Structure 1
Amino acid sequence: MSNSYAQAVLRTTDVAEALRVAGRLLALADTGELEVDFESRVSTPCELERLSRVMPDADWWSYGSDRHGSSRNGDSPSECLPIFLSRWCMDPEAVEGFLAAAGNAPAMVRWDFSGWPEAPEVGLGRGGTRGAYVTVCVNARDLYLEEPATDHTVYVHVKQSEARRAAWLAAQVGLQTIGELEMAPL
Structure 2
Amino acid sequence: MSNDIAYPVFRTPDLALALSTARRLIEFGRCEYSEVSVYAEFSSVAEVRRVAKVLPEECFQGQVDYEEFDGVPLAERPALVVGVQGPGLPVDPAAYEGRLPVECGLSELPVGSIEDTFTAAIGANVGWINWESLRWPDAPEVGFHGESKHAEVTLLFNTHTRELDEPADDHTVLVHVRSAVFGGVQTREPYAHWLAEQVGLTVIGPGQRL
Superposition pairs of residues 8-27 of structure 1, within 5 angstroms = 8-27=8-27
Superposition pairs of residues 16-165 of structure 1, within 5 angstroms = 16-53=16-53, 54=55, 56-58=57-59, 60-62=61-63, 68=65, 74-76=78-80, 79=96, 80-91=99-110, 92-128=112-148, 130-161=149-180, 162-165=188-191
- How big is each residue's C-alpha offset from its partner over 1:68-91, in whole Å with a ceiling of 9 and x where there is no partner? 369x86552652111332221123
- How big is each residue's C-alpha offset from its partner over 1:108-140, in whole Å with a ceiling of 9 and x where there is no partner? 000112311111121111212x21110101111
Kept in 2, the 8 Å contact 1:52–1:58? The answer is no
Amino acid at match of 2:37: D
Give the Cα separation in 1 of the matches to 2:179 and 2:65: 33
The yes-or-no answer on 1:6 pairing with 2:15 is: no
> TM-score normalised to the size of structure 1?
0.84
Question: Cα distance, 1:163 vs. partner?
Answer: 2.6
Q: Which has the higher strand share?
A: 1
More moved, 72-81 vs 114-123: 72-81
- How big is each residue's C-alpha offset from its partner over 1:25-45, in whole Å with a ceiling of 9 and x where there is no partner? 112104211211111111111
Partner SS, residue 8 of structure 2: strand
Kept in 1, the 8 Å contact 2:26–2:134? The answer is no
> TM-score normalised to the size of structure 2?
0.75
Partner SS, residue 121 of structure 1: helix
- How big is each residue's C-alpha offset from its partner over 1:14-66, in whole Å with a ceiling of 9 and x where there is no partner? 1111112111111210421121111111111122123334262526352xxxx
Give the Cα separation in 2 of the matches to 1:27 and 1:40: 24
Give the Cα separation in 2 of the matches to 1:39 and 1:57: 9
List alignment gaps of at least 5 residues for structure 1.
none
Q: Which residue of structure 1 aligns with residue 194 of structure 2?
A: 168
Kept in 1, the 8 Å contact 2:58–2:105? The answer is no
Task: State how many pairs are aligned.
Answer: 177
Kept in 2, the 8 Å contact 1:4–1:158? The answer is yes
Kept in 1, the 8 Å contact 2:11–2:171? The answer is yes
Structure possessing the higher radius of gyration over alpha carbons: 2
Kept in 2, the 8 Å contact 1:9–1:154? The answer is yes
Kept in 1, the 8 Å contact 2:133–2:152? The answer is yes
